[in-house]
Structure 1
Amino acid sequence: MAARIYQIPKSAMQSGKAKTDTWLLEFEQSEARRPDPLMGWTGSGDTQAQVQLKFPTKDAAKGYAEKHGIAARVHQTPPRTLKIQAYADNFR
């Protein structure tokens, strides 16, 4: 069972940093998705891919994975860069 641990990114509609401190542990898919012949929807028999576990810290997520024997990869969040700009810069 493989999984990945990452921090929840900020949504495009979100200007603040609310709920971005949470870390997720998601299981990777063990089998390929295939289209349903009748409806055409894609799906698979892998129910682990639907599981998302939330943790307050990265260390808590890593500890859970080690305790339960889950091979987990940690994806670091890229550093946030602020583009500081004054209103007067629009007229230069």
Structure 2
Amino acid sequence: MVDSIGQRPLDRKIGAVSRVGTLAAAKSVTKQPQAAQAPTVAAQLAAAAPVDTARVERIKQAIAKGEYPLSPTTIADTLIAARYEWMSHDQA
């Protein structure tokens, strides 16, 4: 026979609840000064942008002289590919 769906009385008894710790125990935790903590990778990366400034300067000079090979077709293809990549992450 199949049991009906619905509430059934529990046979288990729940014991009394007691507190484990007090607020005084939580106050004993102290934080280290900010200077004493080791620098994290994220903090190191946030300090300065990972840019090769010498390479950027060489590219700027080449563009100013007209020696940097800019291809409108390549730029357009890259922008279209980036847009399709962004669209693939959009929710339907």
TM interval, shorter chain, is under 0.3
Please tell me whether Structure 1 or Structure 2 has the larger radius of gyration of its CA atoms: 2
Report the TM-score when normalising by structure 2: 0.21
TM-score normalized with structure 1 length:
0.21
More helix by share: 2
